[in-house]
């Protein structure tokens, strides 16, 4: 077993080495990574190079004497041109391994969007984008997720968005600094299937709980703040691989709702507690607007492991439920159908298992490397006598 995990670790290293990123040039964007300094403070690094295992650049916190926990705060009071000149004039360089980087953004309450790419809508058998809260703390770009046997563990590459201020209904996005980062919206599809509202899929019911488990929200190594955000983000390409095999690939320009529309729809909820998370009423955000530092999840493209049940499957399962009298045992036909579909999904090889290495990336935004680790019980089951 020890040899197996050494091999899997080597596989993860090889995949990571192959994931060197093209960092956006300073004239186009400033890339900001966070790390804990030896002085006990959080430092922001202006990333100039990324070889897939480490990033190097200029310590902006030291250069500007700003040690803010939120990287975009470090930029306050400086234009893009001012920052570019200061960074280019600085000769000293700092290098930090991916494993030394903090989550690109901290926080545990994030507004999220589902079904924002047409092809993903087809595989999920849903047509309209909808909103829900993701209520979990962010994790770093080198990421380990301990597998639970009851899960149907799925992956979702997404483009994350952050802002330099609280976004309210009266806020003009033309005046806002916008940051972009790669994220993975890990999901337990078994939980989602059991709690989804089949009569109102757009309500988002079940989505928050299925996506808000501990360690289900790794973020990229850095936040990228472009000079012209509207043109920058639409050229970005989202990709995800499992053990080196491509699963997802899509351009951000193919979003159904563009960023302005997403922001308008989120802000329009006005912090109302329309959703449920962990059996408690929940809003998309606290306060009067999208807080600075909250990550806005913009949806995943097609290629996830999950496929929604078709009409034939639903009709067959409900009919069987009626004729086998499962409803007499307290299980409704809909609940019976859901459990049958979960059983069918467990036979699919696409769902994540212990030992899998997931690389989540967006062009110019770096990558996340997630290793799926076994629970103690799972590890015991896989040992040979």
pLDDT in tens, 249-283: 999 999 999 999 999 999 999 888 889 888 888 99
CB 33 within 8 A of CB 101: yes
Same domain, 285 and 243: yes
Same domain, 270 and 152: yes
pLDDT attached to residue 326: 66
Give CA–CA dist 233/17, Å, rounded: 25
Classify strands 275-277 and 280-282 as parallel, antiparallel or unpaired.
antiparallel
CB 175 within 8 A of CB 161: no
Mean pLDDT on 345-368: 97
Same domain, 215 and 264: yes
Model's pTM, two decimal places?
Answer: 0.91
- pLDDT tens-digit readout, 147-182: 999 999 999 999 999 999 999 999 999 999 999 999
Taking all residues of the chain, what is their mean pLDDT, rounded to a whole number? 90
User: Residue 293 domain-assigned?
Assistant: yes
pLDDT higher than 70, residue 385: no
Same domain, 148 and 43: no
Same domain, 18 and 63: yes
Same domain, 85 and 122: no
User: Residue 159 domain-assigned?
Assistant: yes
User: Could you give the number of structural domains in the chain?
Assistant: 3
CB 86 within 8 A of CB 273: no
User: Residue 383 domain-assigned?
Assistant: no
Alpha helices in 108-172 (DSSP H): 118-124
pLDDT attached to residue 2: 39
Q: What is the CATH number of the domain that holds 265?
A: 3.90.850.10
Region of 77 on the Ramachandran plot (φ > 0 left; ψ -120 to 50 alpha; else beta): left
User: Residue 93 domain-assigned?
Assistant: yes
Same domain, 165 and 63: no
Give the residue from 72, 100, 128 where a domain finishes. Answer: 100
Beta strands in the chain (DSSP E): 29-36, 42-50, 54-59, 94-97, 110-114, 130-134, 142-146, 153-154, 157-163, 178-184, 187-188, 223-226, 237-242, 245-251, 275-277, 280-282, 296-297, 357-362, 367-373
Q: Which domain holds residue 320?
A: 311-344
User: Residue 381 domain-assigned?
Assistant: no
List phi, psi (to 5°) of 365. Answer: -115, 5
Same domain, 240 and 174: yes
pLDDT attached to residue 316: 74
Same domain, 228 and 244: yes
Cα atoms in the 13 Å half-sphere on the side-chain side of 287: 13
Q: Work out the percent of the chain whose per-residue pLDDT is above 70.
A: 88
pLDDT higher than 80, residue 130: yes
What's CA 123's distance to the chain center, in Å? 19
CB 163 within 8 A of CB 177: yes
Give CA–CA dist 176/133, Å, rounded: 23
User: Residue 379 domain-assigned?
Assistant: no
Same domain, 229 and 328: no
Same domain, 201 and 224: yes
């Amino acid at each position: 077993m020890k040899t197996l995990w050494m091999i899997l670790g080597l596989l993860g290293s090889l995949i990571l080495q192959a994931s060197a990123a093209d960092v956006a040039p300073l004239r186009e964007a400033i890339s900001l990574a966070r790390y804990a300094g030896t002085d006990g403070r959080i430092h922001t690094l202006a990333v100039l190079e990324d070889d897939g295992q480490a990033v190097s650049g200029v310590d902006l916190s030291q250069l500007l004497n700003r040690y803010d926990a939120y990287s975009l705060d470090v930029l306050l009071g400086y234009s893009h041109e001012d920052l570019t000149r200061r960074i280019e004039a600085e000769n000293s360089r700092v290098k930090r391994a991916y494993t030394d980087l903090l989550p690109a953004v901290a926080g545990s309450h994030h507004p999220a969007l589902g079904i924002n790419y047409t092809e993903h809508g087809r595989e999920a058998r849903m047509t309209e984008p909808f909103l829900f809260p993701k209520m979990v703390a962010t994790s770093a770009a080198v990421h380990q997720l301990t597998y639970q046997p009851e899960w149907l563990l799925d992956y979702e590459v997404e483009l994350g968005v952050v802002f330099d201020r609280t976004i309210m209904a009266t806020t003009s996005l033309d005046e806002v600094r916008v940051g972009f980062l790669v994220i993975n919206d890990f999901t337990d599809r078994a939980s989602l299937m059991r709690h989804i509202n089949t009569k109102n899929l757009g309500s988002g019911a079940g989505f928050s709980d299925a996506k808000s488990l501990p360690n289900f929200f790794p973020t990229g190594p850095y936040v990228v703040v472009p000079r012209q955000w509207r043109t920058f983000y639409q050229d970005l390409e989202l990709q995800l691989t499992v053990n080196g095999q491509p699963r997802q690939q899509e351009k951000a320009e193919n979003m159904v709702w563009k960023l302005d529309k997403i922001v308008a729809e989120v802000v329009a909820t006005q912090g109302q507690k329309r959703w449920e998370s962990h059996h408690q009423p929940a809003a998309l955000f606290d306060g009067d607007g999208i807080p600075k530092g909250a990550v806005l999840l913009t949806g995943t493209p097609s290629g996830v492991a999950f496929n929604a049940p078709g009409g034939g499957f639903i009709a067959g399962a409900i009919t069987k439920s009626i004729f086998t009298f499962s409803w007499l045992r307290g299980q409704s036909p809909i609940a019976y159908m859901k459990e049958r579909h979960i059983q069918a999904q467990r036979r699919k090889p696409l769902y994540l298992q212990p030992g899998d290495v997931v690389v989540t990336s967006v062009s110019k935004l770096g990558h996340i490397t997630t290793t799926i680790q076994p629970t103690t019980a799972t590890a015991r089951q896989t040992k040979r006598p």
